Every structure is written in structure tokens, then in C-alpha cells.
Amino acid sequence: MTLDDMTIDGDTAHIRGEGRHQAEPGDVARSLEAIFMIADEPQTLVALATALDLPIVEIKLALDGLIRDYDGEDGGTVRGFELREVGGGWRLYVRAEYDAVARDFVLTQNPTRLSQAALETLAVIAYKQPISRGAIASIRAVNVDSVVRTLLGRGLITEAYTDTETGAIHYATTDMLLVQLGINSIEELPLISPLLADGSDGFDEQR
């Protein structure tokens, strides 16, 4: 995409992308829901407008409508989730009053042995925390979206904070990991350098 492909004028900003699906006028909200169902990171207005090939003002109106819908306004039913803006991006979250329900559900699931990919990703987070998904993927040189979701679901990692400038979520390990490892602090993890066959690539300043 070149600068010629972009038309930006305040709330009417529109980023055109060739070959992109353009949502129908009455289908914008449903299209946004489809995006939020698969998005692991907060999505900016520009990203959403680009994905749907629509002006930002239309995206804003649709987001406002979804918020009212989920909050049970206009005689509707309050949902167990909500749409929130965090770190400059939008994402679906479990409502605070249902956090315990979601946590208990996760804990009742029959755990299976973590895959090698999950173990390697968990090690990266443990030694580099807090760390963003992008940084994890850079170190492992593979996509880690599904693995991060698995670790979150197991309660082994948590969302530490969201970068206010980039909207990237940074992850850290939980006390549950310490219990599973039988240690009292993450500082008790062994030094990483002797464990790496090729030195400490990606872990130069780590323990």
C-alpha cells in the first residue's frame, strides 16, 4: 500500500486496500464481531478500517453500537463479555464479574501434556518476561498465537500489561508455574546460557 492509497481526514479517514472484502453498510458490526472472535491483540481503528475497507467514522459508529448492545442498553440483555479500548486498540474481554466463572471453567478442564512448542514458548516467557507476543515469535522464529492461548488457558502465563503506544500485550508467568516447577521464585530458574547449544542467542542478557 502506498501513500496514494490512503485518504485521511479526521473521523472520515479511509484506507483503501485492493482486493479486500468490504462490509455491507448494515453488516459492519457483525463483521467487526468476526474479527474480534479471532483477534488475540487489541485492534486499532486504522487496522479495523483497513480490514473492512471502510471509513474510520463508520467503524466508530459500529463499535459504539456493539458496546451498547453488549451492555444491554435499549432493552437488551447484558452479555458476559464487553468491548473495551485498551492501549489504543479494541478487544473483547470477559466482564469483571464473570472472571471467577471463566477461571473455574479453565481449571476444570482435563489438562494434557504440554507440547514441545508450548514448553519452548513458556521458557522464552519465563526468562524474558514481561515480553510481547511479537518478541516471542521473533525469538522462536515461528507463529506463537495458538501456543500463547494454550498457556493462558492453563494459567501458566498472564497478561502483565498492554503497551500504551503499540497496544501490544506483554506476558509474564504466574504463581501456578512456580508451583508446577516446585520453586518459590522465578529467580530460582537455572542459568540459561549453559543450556543453549549455540550460546545464548536471544538471551544475551538473561540468567
Taking the C-alpha atoms of residue 139 and residue 132, their distance in angstroms, rounded to an integer, is 11
| pLDDT (tens digit per residue) in 7-44 | 444 444 554 545 456 666 569 999 999 999 988 788 99
Taking the C-alpha atoms of residue 197 and residue 141, their distance in angstroms, rounded to an integer, is 17
Taking the C-alpha atoms of residue 22 and residue 24, their distance in angstroms, rounded to an integer, is 6
Q: List, edge to edge, every strand of the sheet that includes 157-162.
A: 131-132, 169-173, 157-162
Using DSSP, state whether 83 is helix, strand or coil.
Answer: strand
pLDDT tens-place values along the chain, 207 residues long: 333 443 444 444 554 545 456 666 569 999 999 999 988 788 999 999 999 999 999 999 999 999 999 999 978 899 999 999 987 899 999 998 998 898 888 777 666 788 899 999 999 999 999 999 999 999 998 989 889 998 998 889 999 999 988 889 999 999 888 888 878 888 888 876 554 444 445 554 454
Taking the C-alpha atoms of residue 117 and residue 137, their distance in angstroms, rounded to an integer, is 11
Q: What are the structural domains, with CATH classification, of the chain?
A: 3-96 (1.10.10.10), 113-195 (1.10.10.10)
Taking the C-alpha atoms of residue 163 and residue 170, their distance in angstroms, rounded to an integer, is 7
